[in-house]
Structure 1
């Protein structure tokens, strides 16, 4: 399907004039550390982003002071991101490599994931590293399986709750203010596995929070249709069920990371 209602504006990172440093020897594909040129900073927020163009991450830094970021791209599908991070040691190695190349200290540690990138975040949250994560941003990426497999809720299926358990725990901690959790989603319905809308509904129901309908413009011409927030938990719904609507969430990274603070 195509639609031409929303503008689907894109960013290219051309305004970023900082440093780009490959972090070698951790994954099959080297992550890229991006840092701003500001020697006066004694500490920065560190964003580790999974799945998506490094130029989009660079744009987010250009638009927000006091951040450094790592862009991690490991392939397609949530398992490509989740499997390498099942053991806590791989994430520990990534942080160690960052600290070797990052002169300011790390003020707060955030994870973000677009689309399949949530697989890495889920794996990390299941390890002891959960305690050191200050917040998580999911950009139209949080899925689960149906039980029976490939059987939508409307046909009698139910959600495989274990797939969302780590994020349910995170949502609970966000409501109480212990962590920050921001989740944006489109209206795309895959059909054979749980949509981001259904995942959001599940987390809201588990947290006892209702949907609040809104109608307002989001970043880059996105159309926001719902906003639910309590404590440091924010779930934002946007119109659109096409591929460009999905990509909009990634390019809005520069805007959405501000909600983590």
Structure 2
């Protein structure tokens, strides 16, 4: 395991557990005491105490519909939520969310008010496990086939899957980039939402840009290819990121900048409120491609991105 996966796994663990904790516990865990090892390898969100923004949090609530579960990649459970309105039609859309407690993306899908089902996978810590789990294109094929079958069980009749959207929070982006490497999956997926989750290594490993390092673009190629299609109006893509600087691997700001430059675009400075008390600082907009840059270098700022999913998903998919 290289530095990128080792360090990403720590942030991934925090990101996976955070939404499940009460606010009081989040306040404590957001400020871990520094240790010699953590000071040498700056690999997390800043431990600074931050009270500038509200950091509003959603809470679980009853949504109705039907929940099912089945085994997916690596034998991990896939959680499926089918809203009641799916029963009224022969076709449905699907949002596949990688990394994070299922209730939150289910709320985001429910807020769409459409015949869209939510599929949630949690495969472990670090983007590497997500990437490896979908390195074989058959894994995504199997997932879609099984979702279609399970929805048919719920509705009591054959159902056809229409539009497919992928959402990657934090480490979950590893699955998205792996899926999009396969040309027929790139063609099949209609929309992508990345929530503070587009990372890669430095070259040489661990050497930041300011010290002469470069971005390892290997993990960004498939995502940038999709971004280019969105900028042409053929797909839909929204990248939201914080200002967190991991130190040992490329930040979401740096990877977004790489993609923006590759598309020949530039950021526009803005200053406006976003969801959950977030503060937006920059924006890129080209047809159906958007990048939203938000303030914040702390762990709560990272989790803000996940709790902003209802608003950001609706913005991504609105026609």
Give the TM bin, normalised by the shorter chain. Answer: over 0.9
Distance 2:254 2:118 in 1: 30
Deviant stretches of 4+, over 3 Å: none
Distance 2:73 2:251 in 1: 31
Distance 1:241 1:163 in 2: 23
Distance 1:109 1:25 in 2: 17
Q: Alignment RMSD, CA only?
A: 1.3
- Residue 206 of structure 1 is matched in structure 2 by 262
Distance 1:5 1:19 in 2: 39
Structure index of larger Rg: 2
- Residue 6 of structure 2 is matched in structure 1 by none
Post-superposition offset of 1:207: 0.8
3-state SS of the aligned residue for 1:53? coil
Counterparts of 1:39-50 in structure 2, within 5 Å, are 39-50=87-98
Superimposed CA distance per residue, residues 110-137 of structure 1 (whole angstroms, 9 cap, x where no aligned partner): 1000000000011101113111011110
Distance 1:198 1:48 in 2: 25
- Residue 22 of structure 1 is matched in structure 2 by 69
Post-superposition offset of 1:26: 4.2
- Residue 145 of structure 1 is matched in structure 2 by 201
- Residue 183 of structure 1 is matched in structure 2 by 239
- Residue 242 of structure 1 is matched in structure 2 by 298
- Residue 5 of structure 1 is matched in structure 2 by 52
Instruction: Give TM-score, length-normalised by structure 1.
Output: 0.96
Moved more, 36-45 or 230-239: 36-45
Superimposed CA distance per residue, residues 39-59 of structure 1 (whole angstroms, 9 cap, x where no aligned partner): 324433210000011011121
* 8 Å contact kept, 1:15–1:59: no
Name which of 121, 135, 149 aligns with 1:86: 135
Unpaired stretches in structure 1, ≥5 consecutive residues = none
3-state SS of the aligned residue for 1:92? helix
Post-superposition offset of 1:82: 0.7
- Residue 219 of structure 1 is matched in structure 2 by 275
Distance 1:65 1:25 in 2: 27
1:61 aligns with 2:109: yes
Distance 1:165 1:52 in 2: 25
Distance 1:238 1:25 in 2: 33
- Residue 105 of structure 1 is matched in structure 2 by 160
Greater per-residue helix proportion: 2
Name which of 114, 124, 139 aligns with 1:75: 124
* 8 Å contact kept, 2:186–2:226: no
Distance 1:131 1:28 in 2: 27
Moved more, 240-249 or 59-68: 59-68
* 8 Å contact kept, 1:8–1:221: yes
- Residue 122 of structure 1 is matched in structure 2 by 177
1:170 aligns with 2:226: yes
Distance 2:67 2:92 in 1: 16
